[in-house]
C-alpha cells in the first residue's frame, strides 16, 4: 500500500499591529543613531531668536567732549610737570656753573695773595672806591713776559699781579718782571720798557714810604697798571667771565674790620704788618641770566650791592649783599635777581718778616 506523506500545516503568522512595527523600527534607528553619535561632537543647538535690536549703540557728543576734556587736562598736567622738571634742572645747572667759576677765581686770588711780597719798602695798590675795588701787588706767582723780551734776558721771580672789574667781568693782571738793575743796555734786554721793568725799592722820609711816586705801581713807572675805567689793557686777561662785582676789606690784627690797611698811629701800609687777613667778596651771575640783561642793568645791580667803607666796619661785604638780595633790591627782573650768587673768602696773611 502506498505511503502517504502527511504534510504539517504551515503555521499561520498573525499580522502585527502597524504601530508596534513602527515602534520597533524607531527603536532600532535610535540605537544606530546613538552609536553613531559617539564618534562625532555633539551638536550645539542654535538660537533662532533674533535680538530685539540689530544695530550697535555709538558714543554721544557729550561723551566725546568729556573724554577730550579729560585727555586735555592730562596733557596739560604732564606738560606742567615736564616744564617744572626742566626749570629745576636748569636752575641747578646755573648754580653749578656759578659755583665752579667762583671757586676757580677765589682759589687763584688765594694763591696770589699767599705768594704776595710783603715788604715795607715796596709799593701796593689796594684801591677802595665807591664802586668795584681794585688791587695790585707784587707776588712770586708766575707771570707772562711780553714778546719783546728775549730769552736770554735776566728774568726775575716776582710778578705784578692785579685784579679789577672791567665791562662787568673780572680781569687779572699777571705781568712777569725782570731782575732789579737790568736796563736796556743789558744784552738781550732790547724789549724792556716801562711796562715790564722790575719793582723799585725805595725809602722815603718816613719808613715804609716809597721814595718817588713815578716808581709806584699806579705812577706809570717801574711796573705800572691800568686802573679801572681805563681803556683795555693787553696785560689784563679775563679770569671771571660772569663775575660783575668785586669788594674787599681787611681783618686787622686787633680783631676789627677796616678798609684801611694800617692801625693808628701808623699812617702807611708798612708791608701789611697790621693786617691779619684780606677778605674778598665777589658777585656772580650765570651766562643764561646775563643774556637776558643789558650792560646798564648789570651796572645798576652792581651799584646796589653796598660798599664797605670806614676804619671800623660792622660787617664784611657778604652779609650786606645778602640783605640786599633778600630784599629784592637789585633793580633786576625777579628771574635774574634770584640767580645772583655771592661768595666771600678770607685769606690770612703769614707773619711779615
Supply the pLDDT for residue 21. 56
Outline where DSSP puts E strands in 51-130: 125-127
Burial of 315-344, coded b for 16+ CB within 10 Å and e otherwise, reads ebbbebbeebbeeeebebeeebbebbbbbb
314-325 confidence digits (pLDDT tens): 899 999 999 999
Higher-scoring residue by pLDDT: 333, 53: 333
Domain membership flag for residue 255: yes
Q: Which of 105, 92, 93 shows the shortest CA–CA distance to 344?
A: 105
Beta bridge partners of 173: 162, 236
Instruction: Choose among 105, 92, 94, 161: nearest CA to 282.
Output: 105
Q: What stretches of 218-345 show up as alpha helix (H) in DSSP?
A: 287-290, 295-304, 317-326, 334-337
Residue 281 lies in a domain: yes
C-alpha cell at 352: 711779615
pLDDT the model gives residue 222: 37
To 5 degrees, how large is the angle CA 293–CA 297–CA 298?
85
Residues 6+ apart with CB under 8 A from 170: 105, 163, 164, 238, 239, 240, 243, 246, 282
How far is the first Cα of the chain from the last one, in angstroms, to the nearest whole number?
A: 186
Q: What's residue 172's pLDDT? A: 93
Enter the C-alpha cell of residue 129.
672806591
Asked if residue 50 belongs to a domain, the reply is: no
Q: What confidence category does residue 309 fall into, taking pLDDT thresholds of 50, 70 and 90?
A: confident
C-alpha 137/C-alpha 173 separation (Å) is 10
Residue 170 lies in a domain: yes
| Sign, Cα dihedral of 310, 313, 319, 325 | negative
Instruction: State mean pLDDT over 177-196.
Output: 53
Alpha-carbon gap, residue 271 to 276, rounded angstroms: 12
Q: Residue 101 belongs to what domain range? A: 90-348
Q: Which residues contact 216 (CB under 8 A, 6 or more apart)?
A: 123, 125, 210
Residue 17 covered by a domain: no
Considering the domain boundaries, does residue 43 fall inside one? no
Is residue 333 domain-resident?
A: yes
Q: Which whole number is the average pLDDT over 34-60? A: 59
pLDDT tops 90 at residue 10: no
For residue 16, the model assigns a pLDDT of 53
pLDDT band with cut points at 50, 70 and 90 for residue 270: confident
pLDDT attached to residue 321? 95
Rounded Cα distance, 138 and 145, in Å: 15
Is residue 244, in this structure, part of any structural domain at all?
yes
If you average pLDDT over residues 120-130, what whole number do you get? 84
242, pLDDT greater than 60:
yes
pTM, two decimal places: 0.69
Higher pLDDT, 2 or 23: 23
| Nearest-angstrom CA–CA distance, 136 and 139 | 9
Report the number of distinct structural domains present in the chain: 1
Amino acid at each position: 500500500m502506498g505511503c502517504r506523506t502527511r504534510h504539517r500545516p504551515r503555521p499561520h503568522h498573525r499580522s502585527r499591529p502597524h504601530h508596534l512595527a513602527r515602534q520597533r523600527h524607531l527603536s532600532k534607528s535610535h540605537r544606530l543613531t546613538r552609536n553613531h553619535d559617539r564618534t562625532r561632537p555633539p551638536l550645539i543647538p542654535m538660537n533662532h531668536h533674533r535680538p530685539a535690536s540689530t544695530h550697535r549703540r555709538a558714543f554721544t557728543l557729550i561723551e566725546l567732549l568729556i573724554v577730550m576734556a579729560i585727555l586735555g587736562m592730562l596733557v596739560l598736567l604732564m606738560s606742567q610737570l615736564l616744564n617744572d622738571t626742566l626749570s629745576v634742572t636748569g636752575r641747578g645747572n646755573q648754580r653749578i656753573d656759578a659755583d665752579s667759576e667762583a671757586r676757580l677765581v677765589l682759589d687763584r686770588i688765594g694763591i696770589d695773595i699767599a705768594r704776595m711780597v710783603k715788604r715795607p719798602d715796596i709799593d701796593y695798590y689796594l684801591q677802595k672806591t665807591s664802586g668795584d675795588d681794585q688791587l695790585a701787588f707784587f707776588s712770586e706767582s708766575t707771570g707772562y713776559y711780553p714778546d719783546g723780551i728775549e730769552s736770554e734776558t735776566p728774568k726775575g721771580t716776582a710778578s705784578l699781579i692785579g685784579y679789577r672789574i672791567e665791562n662787568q667781568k673780572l680781569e687779572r693782571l699777571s705781568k712777569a718782571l725782570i731782575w732789579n738793575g737790568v736796563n736796556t743796555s743789558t744784552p738781550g734786554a732790547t724789549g724792556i720798557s716801562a711796562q715790564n721793568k722790575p719793582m723799585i725799592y725805595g725809602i722815603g722820609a718816613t719808613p715804609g714810604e716809597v721814595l718817588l711816586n713815578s716808581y709806584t705801581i699806579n705812577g706809570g713807572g717801574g711796573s705800572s697798571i691800568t686802573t679801572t675805567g681805563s681803556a683795555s689793557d693787553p696785560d689784563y686777561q679775563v679770569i671771571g667771565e660772569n663775575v660783575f662785582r668785586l669788594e674787599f676789606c681787611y681783618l686787622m690784627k686787633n680783631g676789627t674790620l677796616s678798609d684801611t690797611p694800617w692801625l693808628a698811629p701808623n699812617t702807611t701800609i708798612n708791608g701789611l704788618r697790621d693786617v691779619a687777613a684780606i677778605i674778598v667778596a665777589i658777585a656772580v651771575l650765570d651766562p643764561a641770566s646775563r643774556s637776558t640783561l643789558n650792560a646798564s642793568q648789570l651796572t645798576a645791580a652792581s651799584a646796589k650791592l653796598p660798599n664797605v667803607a670806614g676804619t671800623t666796619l660792622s660787617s664784611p661785604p657778604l652779609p650786606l649783599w645778602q640783605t640786599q638780595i633778600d630784599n629784592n633790591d637789585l633793580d633786576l627782573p625777579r628771574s635774574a635777581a634770584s640767580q645772583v650768587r655771592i661768595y666771600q673768602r678770607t685769606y690770612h696773611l703769614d707773619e711779615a718778616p
